[in-house]
Structure 1
Amino acid sequence: MYNKILVPLDGSKTAEAIIPHVANLAQHDGATVYFAQVIEPATRSGILDINQEQEVTFKPQKIDNAKAYLNGWKNQFEQDGLSAEILLLRGVAVDAILHAIDEMAIDILAITSQGRSGLQKVIYGSVSSALLNRAPCPTLVSTPDTEISLKTNNRILVPIDGSKESEAIMPHVQHIARLYEATIVLVRVVSSPHHKAAFVNLDKEIKEEIVPEHLLSQLGKHQELDRIKTAKNYLLNWKNQFQEHGYDAEVNLLYGRPIDSIMAVAEQTQPDLIAMTSSARVGLDQFFYGSIASGLLNRLARPMLIVHTSNLPVQNFA
C-alpha cells in the first residue's frame, strides 16, 4: 500500500525525528524511501529589472551539501537492507514538496511537526501546517518529543465519529494492523463540553444513571441516552467486522470533551500510533483534525497518521 515514502528534511535533528518511524514502516512494507531537501534560489527576494532577462540561480555549494547530506541517509538505509533514493527540490518549500508528491506518485508523506526557525527554516512551522492541510496523500507526522523507542505499531488508536468521512482511515488501519499484527483500538466520543472524560461500560446496559444529571437537564434525557446507545452499537459493529476478518480489536466509548477523552484512552491503552482523518461531520460530534489533531500531537508524543477525506465512497474490507 505504501510503495513510496517521501521524507523532506532540512538538516536539523528535529526534522530527522520522523526517520526511525519511517524506517520501521519501510521495513515492514518493503517501501522505497525518498529523502528530499528543498534548495532555495541564491537570491530570496529583490526587484527585477524588466529590461533584462532574469535567470533563477542556485548556489553550487548549497546543492553539493544537500546531496552529501541526503546520500548519507540513503547509504544508511541501504546498509540496513532498505530501499532509498534522494530528491533535490527547488523553489518554495510547500509547492516544491507538493509537486514532488504529484510527480513521483508518493503514497505517504512523513514529517515532524516543527523544525529550525529563522531564514533557514525549510520544512516546518507554517510549512508543515500547510503540508498537513494540502498534501494529497496520507501524512505520517510526529513531534520532536516522540520517543525513539516507539517505533513499532503494535497498538493503533483510531478515533472515529460515526461518519463515512472518519471511516476513510479504515483501509489504512487495516493495512498497518496486518503488517504489524497490531491491535486496533477504536474510540468514539459522545461530545459534551460539560464533562471532561468518562468511560461508558459497554458490557452493561446503558441506563440514565451513567449520564451526569446536568447533562441530562441540558440535552434531554432520551436524546442523550439515544446518542450513547447509537455510539455503542456503532463501535460494537466495527469491532465485530474487524474480528470477523481476523483482526484484534478493542472499543472504547466515552462522553465528554474530545481531546481529554482521547487522551484518557491513550493513557490507558498506550498506543504506538494514532490514525485519523482530517475532517469529519460538522456540529456537536465534530472533533477531528484542526485543534483536536494538533492538541493530540502536542500532548501525546506519539506519531500520527492523518488521511484527508474525499467524496468518494469508502470501501473497507475490500
Structure 2
Amino acid sequence: MFTRILVPLDGSWLAEAAIPHAELFAKIFGASIHLLRVLEPISYHENPAAVDPLRWQLHKAEADAYMQGIANRVRGNLGGNIKMREDEKKNRVDYSVREGKAAENIVDFAHTENIDLLVICTHGSSGLSRWNISSVTQKVINLIYLPVLIVRSYDQSIMDENIKRYRRILLPIDSSRRAEYSLAAGIELARGEISTDSTPEAADDKSTLFLAAVIRPPELPIPEPFPIEISQLMEKLSRLSHQTVDRYLYEMKERLPVDCDTCVVESASVPSAIQELAEQEDIDLVILCAHGYSGQVTWPYGTVTLNYIENGTKPLLIIQDVPLSQVRPTAAEVAAEKSGRR
C-alpha cells in the first residue's frame, strides 16, 4: 500500500518527531524512507545584506552532514526487519538536500519521486505556537493530494524514538464507500504491528481497531420547540439510524481480520465527537479518509477531516481518495503560474 515514504526535516527536534512514525510504517508496509531537507535562502526583506557565499556553502555542508547522520540512524533502527529484497535494503533510506521554498519543494519532490505517503510534523524550526499547525505544513498538505500522516509536534508523548505499535487505532466511518477506503490502512496497521517485534510478549499485546460512527440529529428549518409529532418522528429516526449503523458496524467488525471494537455516538458536531472519543479511548492514531459521504471533492479535504487537521490532537493518517490526475489547479495556482511564480 505504501512503498515510498517522504519525511521532510528542517534540522529541529520538533520535525524529527515524525521519524519514529515513518520507521514504523516502513517496517509494516516494507517501504523505503526518503528524508528531505529544504534550505530556504534569506530574502532581501529579512536581511538586506548580501548573503555570504562561503557562509551559505558551510550551511549546505552542515545540512548534508545532519541529514547523513539522521539517515544512518534510521537505517540502524530499521535493521533487518523491513520487508524488502536484499538489493533494495541497501537503498531503503536515502536523503536529499534542496534549496528554495520549503512547501513548494516538498510538494514537487513528492510528485516527481513517486512518493505515496508523506509523514510530516505540525511544527518545525519556527517553534511551537498557538496555532495547531504551521504555515509550511498547511501549505504542503493542501497541495500534495497524497496520503499524509500528520504528527503533532506539541505532544510530548510522541517523542519516544522506538514506537513499536499503535495500540489503539480510531477509524471513524460514515457508512460511505469513500470512508471505507481507509479500512485497508487500518487493517494493515492493526495487524502488521506485531511483526515489528519478535518477542513473545509483543504477540500477546495486540492492537485494537475502533470503528466509530457519529450520528447527527436531524436538522429542521423550523423554530423550536418542535410540534409533538415532529419530535416523535425525530426520535424514531434517531433510533432507527442508531440501529442501522450499529448493525452496519457489527457486520463490518465480523468481516475484518483484526481485533475490533465498535462505537456509535450521537452528536451535533462530528469533529468534536471524534476528538472526544479519541481522548476518552486513549487513541494512538486516528485514520480518516479525505472525503466522506458528501462526495464533495472540489477541495483536498472534506469538512470533518479538515476540522480534525486543524483542531485535533492525535496523530492523523489521511487516506486521499482523489487521484492527483483528477485535481484541477486552484485560481491562486493559475495566477501564480501566469506571473511566473509558483
* Identity rate, percent: 28
2:289 is equivalent to residue 277 of structure 1: yes
Q: Is the 8 A contact 2:7 2:120 kept in 1?
A: yes
How big is the shift at 1:287? Answer: 5.6
Q: Which residue of 2 aligns with 1:156?
A: 169
Q: Is the 8 A contact 2:169 2:287 kept in 1?
A: yes
For the residues of structure 1 that align with 2:146 and 2:166, how far apart are their CA atoms? 20
- The one-letter amino acid of 2:263's match is N
**Helix, strand or coil at the partner of 2:124:** coil
* Cα distance in 2 between the residues matched to 1:65 and 1:192: 57
Contact 1:94–1:131 (CA under 8 A) maintained in structure 2: yes
Query: Is 1:296 matched with 2:307?
Result: no
> Which residue type is aligned with residue 133 of structure 1?
N
Equivalent-residue separation in structure 1 for 2:74 and 2:309 (angstroms):
30
Match of 2:237 in 1: 223
2:70 is aligned to: 73
CA contact (8 A) 1:252 1:265 kept: no
Query: Residue 249 in 1 paired to residue 263 in 2?
Result: no
Match of 1:129 in 2: 138
Report Cα offsets for 1:251-297 as digits up to 9, x if no partner: 000101323422343234322211111222349xx762112332223
Residue in 2 aligned with 1:204? Answer: none
Aligned residues: 270
Give a deviation string over 1:169-224, Cα, whole Å, max 9, x none: 11211222221253211110002499xxxxxxxxxxxxxxxxxxx9x739723222
C-alpha RMSD of matched pairs (Å): 3.2
**Aligned pair 1:25/2:25, yes or no?**
yes
Contact 1:89 1:97 in 2 (8 A): no
2:184 to 164, 171, 175: 171
Q: 2-side partners of 1:128 and 1:59: how far apart? A: 25
Give yes or no for contact 1:39–1:89 (8 Å, CA) kept in 2.
Answer: yes
SS in 1 for 2:182: helix
Instruction: List per-residue Cα deviations over 1:52-72 (Å, max 9, x = no partner).
Output: xxxxxx932232121111111
* 8 Å contact kept, 1:89–1:96: yes
CA distance 1:45–1:268, shift in 2 (3 Å):
closer
Query: 1:105 maps to which residue?
Result: 114
CA distances 1:136-157 after superposition (whole Å, capped 9, x unpaired): 3211111123313493212211
Distance 1:218 1:73 in 2: 62
Residue 186 (structure 1) aligns with: 211
Pairing 1:78-89 to 2, within 5 Å after superposition: 78-82=75-79, 83-89=92-98
Partner residue, 2:57: 60
In structure 1, distance between residues paired with 2:78 and 2:142: 33
Deviation at 1:44, TM superposition (A): 5.7
Q: 2:274 aligns with which of 262, 265, 285?
A: 262
SS in 1 for 2:263: strand
Where in structure 1 are there 5+ consecutive unaligned residues? 47-57, 119-123, 195-213, 313-318
Q: CA deviation at 1:306?
A: 1.0
Query: How many Å separate the matches in 2 of 1:103 and 1:11?
Result: 23
Question: What SS does the aligned partner of 1:176 have?
Answer: helix
Offset from partner CA, 1:95-147 (integer Å, 9 cap, x none): 211111112111211111122339xxxxx711211222222321111112331
TM-score, normalising length: structure 1: 0.74
Unpaired runs of 5+ in structure 2?
Answer: 47-54, 80-91, 128-132, 195-206, 220-227, 296-301, 325-342
- Higher percent of residues as helix: 2
Q: Which moved more, 1:24-33 or 1:131-140?
A: 24-33
2:330 corresponds in structure 1 to none
1:233 equivalenced with 2:247 (yes/no) = yes
Matched to 2:237, the amino acid is Q
One-letter amino acid of the counterpart of residue 319, structure 2: V
Residue 42 of structure 1 contacts residue 59 of structure 1 at CA under 8 Å; is this kept in 2? no
TM-score, structure 2 normalization: 0.70
Note closer, same or farther for the CA distance 1:44–1:185 as it changes in structure 2 (3 Å cut).
Answer: farther
CA distance in 1, matches of 2:234, 2:30: 53
